[in-house]
Structure 1
């Protein structure tokens, strides 16, 4: 398709205008941004985000990003705030108000109420001389030269800049709080990252009656029966002192069948793998996955702090748990 097609030209123009607006934002970050961070970090309550229309959609996203990165936050629709939802805001909170014009009537109506509560107000507006910006304790400048809309009417560049400014605020706070990947996982327990960073080996391993185990003098035949009953494709070999003597897996079985041995009379300790890899109880399931991938094995025995076997797991367990 030609690069001069009108659809492509329109897309390129929009992207260029919004890119330029973001570049201009770099010059607009000042002491007010530092002040906004300080106010939020000192907040004993929550961050309450308000905004109408497209600014409200950006505000919703900002509240969600803050909440998932260590700053308790929620969104309140300013029109609803005037009809009862102001009761959701306490004297321990901080308000972030978004309005490109800085004169949105539903938000301006709330300004005296916010001041009466005596709580800090942070504004994100494209008009630093507006009523909203003048009332704010920290006024973040989100001014844009023009909207990407050719009519200069539909919020486009302005919402992009407000979104980027909100992200910058959230990440600055994240870094100031020392927020970690594990903290993030606690906010996203249902996601893949949450499972990788929160799920422990103990949560998915087969233990107790479900843990396949035999003694060193067990015959290969009986060891195979134990593997079949437990369905893990392996069995631990445990000595009389409760220590791990080795492991016997499906792979060991294939290698054993290549030899002229009597399965009913050959002891398992004659064909088991002695120096086997193990996973540590209490460690992340993701660590067990790393061991399996590194050594190209399909299962692991889990040992406690005294190196005594307490369970087993295989790659299917990790797949079912969503760790893979």
Structure 2
């Protein structure tokens, strides 16, 4: 007999789904357009960084950007503050992801980027922070609550950030006229590669 999903799991899934759905009305179209144009026009690479769960989101987003031929990489905050920022150049864009916007590591990386003249994007919930006030661009991604009982575990908020960049990536791919041929060239492996080969050989 099939075991039913627990009520608590249903509640968590529903909460995360609702928070993502609400982004449609809470996001700034102007900010999204500015970020999209910056990424499409980037002459260098996109460097993403973040601490903890924000860092995990940054890794996922960097991979998604690579999949649509926007060169990107994840820079660990610890590595970045110990010489890794040498990877950044003036033609690059650095995206700093921080839910609360108050992180010693992100603020320190931002100061160095500003000294180097590198364009920066803050992805955060909080406007009144050093991070939001001192980046080139801002993208405020907010959720009303996390589904855990403490309203603290970065769950719905992390999914929201990833969902926003998924949406941006898909729109950018379409604007770039990204084709299956392009995708196969950089993704020949796995089931995706096999499906692309099959479809292109039909």
| Common topology (TM > 0.5) | yes
Aligned equivalents of 1:100, 1:45: Cα separation in 2: 26
Aligned equivalents of 2:74, 2:84: Cα separation in 1: 11
Q: What is the Cα deviation at residue 157 of structure 1?
A: 1.0
Q: What is the Cα deviation at residue 194 of structure 1?
A: 3.0
> Which of residues 12, 15, 21 is equivalent to 1:14?
12
SS in 1 for 2:44: coil
38-47 or 20-29: which moved more? 20-29
Richer in strand (by share): 1
The 5 Å alignment of 1:192-231 reads 192-195=191-194, 197=196
Judge conservation of contact 1:186–1:198 (CA < 8 Å) in 2: no
Q: Deviations over 1:301-322 (max 9, x none)?
A: xxxxxxxxxxxxxxxxxxxxxx
TM normalised by structure 1 equals 0.58
Q: What is the Cα deviation at residue 50 of structure 1?
A: 0.5
Q: Say yes or no: does 1:126 pair with 2:125.
A: yes
Q: Which residue of 1 aligns with 2:176?
A: 177
Q: Which runs of 5+ in 1 are unaligned?
A: 200-283, 288-324
Q: Which residue of 1 aligns with 2:49?
A: 50
Richer in helix (by share): 2
Aligned equivalents of 2:9, 2:195: Cα separation in 1: 38
Q: Which residue of 1 aligns with 2:143?
A: 144
Judge conservation of contact 1:46–1:72 (CA < 8 Å) in 2: yes
Q: Say yes or no: does 1:167 pair with 2:166.
A: yes
Q: Deviations over 1:193-252 (max 9, x none)?
A: 4355459xxxxxxxxxxxxxxxxxxxxxxxxxxxxxxxxxxxxxxxxxxxxxxxxxxxxx
Task: Pick 1 or 2: higher relative contact order, CA cutoff 8 A, min separation 6.
Answer: 2
Judge conservation of contact 2:39–2:46 (CA < 8 Å) in 1: yes
Q: What is the Cα deviation at residue 36 of structure 1?
A: 0.6
Displaced runs of 4+ in structure 1, greater than 4 A? Answer: 195-199
Aligned equivalents of 1:46, 1:105: Cα separation in 2: 24
Q: Which residue of 2 aligns with 1:207?
A: none
CA change 1:42–1:19 in 2 (3 A) is same
SS in 2 for 1:122: strand
TM normalised by structure 2 equals 0.91
CA radius of gyration, larger in: 1
